Amino acid sequence: MRRVFALTAIVLAVPSLLSSQGAARSAISLAAGVNGVGLPSDPSLGLVVQAGYLRQYDRIAVRLGADYFRENRFFISGESAHPRAIGATLELSYDLLTSRFRPYVIGGWGLYHLTDTQVIAPGMNAYSVDNLSASMVGGLGFRYQVGNRYLFTEARLHGFTGAGNWGSNFMPITAGMRF
């Protein structure tokens, strides 16, 4: 019952918040970055590519995004994993300042197709993992206005809710531009 109440409150509150924000501006955003997670004994490095369409109001932005993650993980035990994710997100961001330099917070939900090829020990056959998972998205970013465009960088946590053996989250750091 609490979830239904919270969802109803959000659905009713967001349109009134957006209408009080003034005229909306549309933009396309493109970003790339890295995802590095793990201890020094279990290093990993990944690639992240993001694209999105957003409507920016005064301080609030609504973004429909697409994300691709790929990572190579190597463990001290000899195990390796090669997770990949492709998905779509719906996010809200709120600008903390209205100056040329704008830090902001991000929150939203996504749906991802997760795949992985894992090797448990050297010399053993690899096995595949294939999942569909919802994701809770949260993060921080900042953008800087250059002419009529914005340069931005973001750190987002994608917490996968149904990842199984794939892993529980990604936290990429990206840099990009709004057009």
Please give the average per-residue pLDDT across 11-39, as a whole number.
69
Amino acid identity of residue 46, one-letter, is: G
Q: Say if residue 5's pLDDT is above 90.
A: no
Q: Please provide the average confidence, as pLDDT, over all residues in the chain.
A: 82
What are 105's strand-pairing partners? 94, 140
Please give the average per-residue pLDDT across 63-78, as a whole number.
82
123-137 tens-digit pLDDT: 777 778 788 899 999
The SS3 of residue 31 is strand
40-62 tens-digit pLDDT: 555 667 889 999 999 999 999 99
Structural domains in the chain, sorted by start? 24-178 (2.40.160.20)
Q: Say if residue 168's pLDDT is above 70.
A: no
Q: What is the pLDDT of residue 152?
A: 97
Q: What is the pLDDT of residue 3?
A: 54
Q: What is the pLDDT of residue 50?
A: 95
The SS3 of residue 2 is helix
Q: 73: which residues sit within 8 A by CB, 6+ positions away?
A: 37, 38, 42, 43, 44, 80, 81, 82, 83
Q: What is the pLDDT of residue 161?
A: 83
Q: What is the largest CA-CA distance in the chain?
A: 61
